[in-house]
Amino acid sequence: MHRKLLAEVLGTFVLVFGGCGSAVFGGSHELMGLTGVALAFGLTVLTMAYAVGPISGGHFNPAVTLGLVAAGRHPAKQAPGYIAAQVVGAILAAAVIAVIAKANGAKALGQFAANGWGPEGMKNQLDFGGAFLTEAVTTMIFLIVIVGVTSRRAAPGFAPLAIGLCLTLIHLITIPLTNTSVNPARSTGQALLAGGIWLEQLWLFWVAPIVGGALGGLIGRYLDGAPDASRG
């Protein structure tokens, strides 16, 4: 179990360091922009799923862990440990990004790639309901894809590629709306250092992805039709 938890810490660290780091350091660069940040998130999940996925399953996301519990793919008793490991990895990555940003001359962290909505959080017109729907629906889709491509019916070896591409697509859609969470751990690390309105709005980026992830896990389980493998 200890190796599984370490794999989740490491995988989530790389996800946040690569994805949020690209946004903090290169999001405004003409060669990076929205597409580059979306690709960074997708590539980190893809590479770490291949690297440590065989050890822990490569969740790196509390909504994925709970969605896989709902899908009957992961033991519920292991979920608290996985979620704690993911949050630790995300906070460590956010801290490293902050140290580098300060060393690079940043006077203040500002939004710091945190998630939000509305005029204060994201300087857009998206309201609470729109933000909740955005995060819940995209996380639901993410879990349906994860359950589908990891099914025994799916072609072996390609799951990380499909999952990484799906996460890239989700970011392309939702970065302008909520800065894309679909991952409560990723949101927590950034919000803790950004503070202010982004910390106040953090709760939504736990509730909506978990609701969407659980629903996606249940839908994926129904579509797969496979027996419950989470016991034992």
In a domain, 128, yes or no: yes
In a domain, 231, yes or no: no
Summarised one tens digit per residue, pLDDT across range 181-225 is: 999 999 999 999 999 999 999 999 999 999 999 999 999 999 998
In a domain, 232, yes or no: no
The whole-number pLDDT of residue 48 equals 97
Tell me which residue range forms the domain holding 29: 2-222
pLDDT-derived band at 156, boundaries 50, 70, 90:
confident
The whole-number pLDDT of residue 232 equals 45
In a domain, 230, yes or no: no
Residue 74's φ and ψ, nearest 5 degrees, are -145, 140
Q: Which CATH number is 211's domain given? A: 1.20.1080.10
Residue 104's φ and ψ, nearest 5 degrees, are -90, 5
Burial of 157 (0-12, 13-18, 19+ CB in 10 A): exposed
In a domain, 65, yes or no: yes
Task: Please determine, for residue 134, whether its predicted confidence score (pLDDT) is greater than 70.
Answer: yes
Mapped onto helix, strand or coil, the DSSP state of residue 193 is: helix
* Number of domain units in the chain: 1
Confidence (pTM) = 0.94
The whole-number pLDDT of residue 199 equals 98
Q: What percent of the chain has pLDDT over 70?
A: 94
Task: Please determine, for residue 30, whether its predicted confidence score (pLDDT) is greater than 80.
Answer: no
H helix intervals, 27-113: 33-56, 62-70, 79-103
H helix intervals, 57-203: 62-70, 79-103, 118-121, 128-149, 159-178, 184-194, 196-200
Question: Which residues fall within 8 angstroms of residue 5, CB to CB, at 6 or more apart?
Answer: 56, 81, 82, 84, 85
Calculate helix-pair angle for 62-70, 204-224, nearest 10 degrees: 30
Summarised one tens digit per residue, pLDDT across range 56-83 is: 999 999 999 999 999 999 999 999 999 9
In a domain, 193, yes or no: yes
The whole-number pLDDT of residue 153 equals 86
